[in-house]
Structure 1
Amino acid sequence: MAEVLGAVSSIVTLLDLAGKVIEYLKSASHADDDRSRLRDEISSSVAVLMMLKARLSPTSPHVTSLQTTKTLAAPGGPLEQYKSDLQTVASKIVPSVGTGRLKVTVDKLAWPFKTTEIKALIASLNRQKTLFNLALQDDHLSISLALQGSTDALGAKIDNVTNDLDNVKQGQKGMVHIANSTDWPELTVPVQTEAQALEEKRRIEEWLSPLNFWITQDDTLRRRHKDTGGWVFDALEFRTWIDSPGNMLWCPGVAGAGKTVIA
């Protein structure tokens, strides 16, 4: 419960800060394109955060799981990173309060960012918004993978590690062959067995991704009720797909519609 209250409190703080930033973005002069793009990005994130706040309510029919909530509110997590990005913007455009009056006149506020800075900020804000959308779907697995990089990046790392291990094994075999074909009896090279290589590969994979996919799947299944998604099997689109080998059934839906549970 404490984690949920903490996450809700963080979202309320973010919504308040985002509102101030959006208001001053409307007042800043110059750099209209950059200002508009940044304002639109923050505005779209606000809409997602409001839905996420509602989803965290105990009275919501689709309460976000504790596992997902902890990931969102973790130190260095999406909520904290989003707050850091907003504070970066606010520190340069929101007038500070001095002795009873604003130190900066809003209508004279100059644009303090370079285009490259805006691109980086928008990219970061968009990334956090994507994670918030995944949280609306209670897709903890995808959030965790995204925080570590991406599914493709993770797979590439594992493939690279596997290739490196294979190269090491081949190199060791070659060194042993050289040692056996020379007159250097004192030269000894330890040979890595297949079992040792597999064990080392397993440890590296666990280090790259300690995720337990069964826990995530079990969490999703526990939120499923009897006959959930039964209507899908009666849909004409589904029956047509079943009778058409090789075709792909595309199932779009808004965040929180239940795509993960139905799948």
Structure 2
Amino acid sequence: MLEPLLGCRIIRVDGYDTDRLGTFTREVARAGTQLEAARAKARIGMDLSSLAIGLASEGSFGSHPSVGLLAWNVELLIWIDDELGLEIIGSAAGNTNFSHRLAASWEEARQFARETGFPEHWLVVRPESEEHPQIHKGIAGWDELESVFRRCSDLAVNGRAFLETDMRAHGNPTRMELISAAARDLAQKLCRRCPECAAPGFHAVERITGLPCEECGAPTKVARAETYRCARCRHQLIVEIRGPKTASAARCDYCNP
């Protein structure tokens, strides 16, 4: 996706197991933040390839920021350019199938698999609990799932198997869609050049509220403009948001307190 949009060639770097930086199945805890992990991946790729530009992604999973019962996925894609001194980040967030279940029967395991989009979305199974060291990853077929479930149940002291979604991108189409959205966000940022120094990456960093109410004209919490800033020279510009010039009275603290 990025190659035609940016006119570049992306080289995949082998020779480093990124599981050393953290795994979704918890064998290795991620050190630092999501952004720090993405940055570390990009830097490792730059070192191994001897290139001045690096690109890497990192995902995180948890609860929706405002609706706690919903699972939520945030994807970051980082572009580092040491020649220009740039670090640009594309991002996307959305719903995910991130889930787990301790199943006591094959019927329960099969129901969980259906709920999470199996077999298009892969699963991970282990005996007994989420911390058991024996892990079966990348399960992508019903026969395999049943076989692994029964073996794990037989090994478990409690007679159960712990199932969870495989959140690695190549086994999770929902996550791949969000990574694509993060790539589009990154491309849009890189394609906008700074009006001052012409460096790529001139993008919105802040939304400015205050769009006037359609009834009384008072400022509302609806955004009226965005602050664009250059990642290189820090030049910034306030850009009005295209669209309605007034906000609905329903969004006004005076008309609708």
Q: TM-score range by the shorter chain?
A: under 0.3
Select the structure that is richer in strand.
Answer: 2
Normalised TM-score (structure 1): 0.20
| Greater relative contact order (CA < 8 Å, ≥ 6 in sequence) | 1
Normalised TM-score (structure 2): 0.20
Higher gyration radius (CA): 1
